[in-house]
């Protein structure tokens, strides 16, 4: 009797199998196992290199293992990492002062994840409504935008229109009303005396880098001011140089009442988020009304202060603009040759693929096989957000890879990484 030969499992297969067996299936990763990173590039456990065009959903604007940020983190690691806010530490004050200055606001409320910061902003908006605006108790209303992505906590998914995010997680929190994104007239129509805030993304990242109509942010600022409503900008993905400005709101010279920040605030090293506003807003937060064990810890504060210092020079904002124009020129040339629409703001792009050609997931698989990492969304859209430390050659490589995938359609029919297919669990 002949025993069939078996092919030894690759290291990639082993790691994917272990993850699928022991980690909950709340993600549907591409079949690549990364083990190291440097600047705009990462390497998998098989030794293959990839241009990272997702950058941790903009958490890695300064690239992987940025030397300046690593030095600051290592310095702080040798002193103090965590105290809780039961005590003062010698890093939080400097970080809060620097970030408040960057935002031209009075105060900072530090948290950890982006979703935590959004939840915090909602709580602050409601308390401001009761204590400052003077609306009746338990009546606060927040206006949100359709197509939004602010996180996946039970409160946040209450105003999501993503069936995957909401299915099976009800009942949902009241107090929210959603309107079409970028529709100022729709916002005006749903304002009531009990409206306390408009929560919005200046650019909808998860939605596919959706840019609002010109003038929308300026008109929203006017509506909020006229009606004594907080303008609350979720700049977790769009802020901190990604769009070629410090904040996406800067493209219309608009200053919101509240900034929600995260992702790259932690330098791609650790979670750090913040709500930033003036004292008449954040002053409603008093001892015991809100908190976090890790929020404002000395390690995160040290890294965050260094991030702010790096942003103060303006070089990363300029770099995002320059590289973004190069990316725009390359991608625009592919419209009609596989791409049906291209949206670019700074070094952040969303491309819609002709639906009869391939899905966004298939396109990402084709890019993976060509050494480029990207992420699909909403079926036929792919997002690109390379680290701001990428080179011109890196941007050209990305455009060439997209062109190749669109022209030969080799992504259709499977997911490959260097020619090896790996089964993955659907999200």
Catalytic residues: 149, 234, 263
The C-alpha atoms of residue 229 and residue 385 are separated, in whole angstroms, by 32
The C-alpha atoms of residue 357 and residue 244 are separated, in whole angstroms, by 32
Contacts with 273 (C-beta within 8 Å, 6 or more apart), sequence order: 110, 111, 112, 113, 114, 116, 117, 236, 260, 261, 262, 263, 265, 266
At residue 206, φ and ψ (nearest 5 deg) are -60, -30
Contacts with 210 (C-beta within 8 Å, 6 or more apart), sequence order: 147, 181, 203, 204, 343, 350
Contacts with 257 (C-beta within 8 Å, 6 or more apart), sequence order: 224, 230, 231, 232, 277, 278, 281
Q: What is the largest CA-CA distance in the chain?
A: 85
Q: Are strands 49-52 and 41-44 parallel, antiparallel or unpaired?
A: antiparallel
The C-alpha atoms of residue 63 and residue 60 are separated, in whole angstroms, by 5
| Residues 303 and 345: beta-carbon distance below 8 Å | no
Shortest CA distance to 140 belongs to which of 174, 117, 109?
A: 174
Where are the strands (E) in 63-175, listed by range? 107-111, 141-145
| Residues 51 and 371: beta-carbon distance below 8 Å | yes
């Amino acid at each position: 009797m002949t025993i069939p030969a078996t092919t030894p499992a690759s290291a990639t297969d082993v790691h994917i199998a272990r993850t699928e067996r022991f980690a909950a299936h709340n993600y549907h990763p591409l079949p690549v196992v990364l083990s190291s990173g440097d600047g705009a590039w990462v390497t998998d456990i098989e030794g293959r290199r990839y241009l990272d065009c997702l950058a941790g959903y903009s958490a890695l604007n300064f690239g992987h293992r940025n030397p300046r940020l690593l030095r600051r983190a290592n310095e702080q690691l040798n002193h103090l990492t965590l105290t809780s806010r039961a005590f003062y530490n010698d890093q939080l004050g400097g970080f809060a002062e620097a970030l408040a200055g960057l935002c031209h606001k009075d105060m900072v409320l530090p948290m950890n994840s982006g979703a935590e910061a959004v939840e915090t902003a909602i709580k602050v908006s409601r308390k401001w409504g009761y204590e400052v605006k003077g609306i009746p108790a338990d009546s606060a209303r927040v206006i949100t935008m359709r197509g939004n992505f602010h996180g996946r906590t039970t409160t946040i998914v209450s105003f999501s229109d993503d069936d995957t995010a909401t299915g099976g997680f009800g009942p949902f929190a009241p107090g929210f009303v959603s309107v079409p994104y970028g529709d100022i007239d729709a916002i005006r129509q749903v304002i009531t005396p009990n409206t306390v805030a408009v929560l919005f993304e200046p650019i909808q990242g998860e939605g596919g880098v959706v840019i609002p109509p010109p003038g929308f942010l300026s008109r929203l600022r006017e509506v909020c001011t006229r009606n004594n409503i907080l303008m609350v900008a979720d700049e977790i993905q769009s802020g901190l140089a990604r769009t070629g400005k410090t904040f996406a709101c800067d493209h219309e010279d608009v200053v919101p009442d509240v900034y929600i920040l995260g992702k790259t605030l932690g330098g791609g090293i650790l979670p750090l988020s913040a709500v930033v506003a003036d004292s008449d807003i954040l002053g409603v937060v008093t001892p015991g009304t809100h908190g976090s064990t890790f929020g404002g810890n000395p390690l995160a504060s040290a890294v965050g202060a260094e991030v702010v210092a790096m942003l103060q020079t303006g070089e990363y904002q300029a770099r995002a603009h320059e590289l973004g124009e190069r990316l725009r020129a390359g991608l625009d040339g592919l419209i009609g040759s596989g791409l049906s629409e291209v949206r670019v703001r700074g070094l952040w792009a969303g491309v819609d693929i002709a639906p009869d050609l391939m899905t966004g997931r298939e396109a990402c698989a084709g890019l993976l096989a060509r050494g480029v990492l990207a992420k699909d969304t909403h079926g036929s859209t792919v997002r690109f957000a390379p680290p701001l430390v990428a080179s011109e050659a890196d941007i050209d490589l990305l455009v060439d890879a997209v062109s190749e995938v669109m022209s030969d359609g080799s992504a259709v029919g499977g997911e490959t990484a260097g020619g090896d297919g790996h089964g993955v669990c659907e999200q």
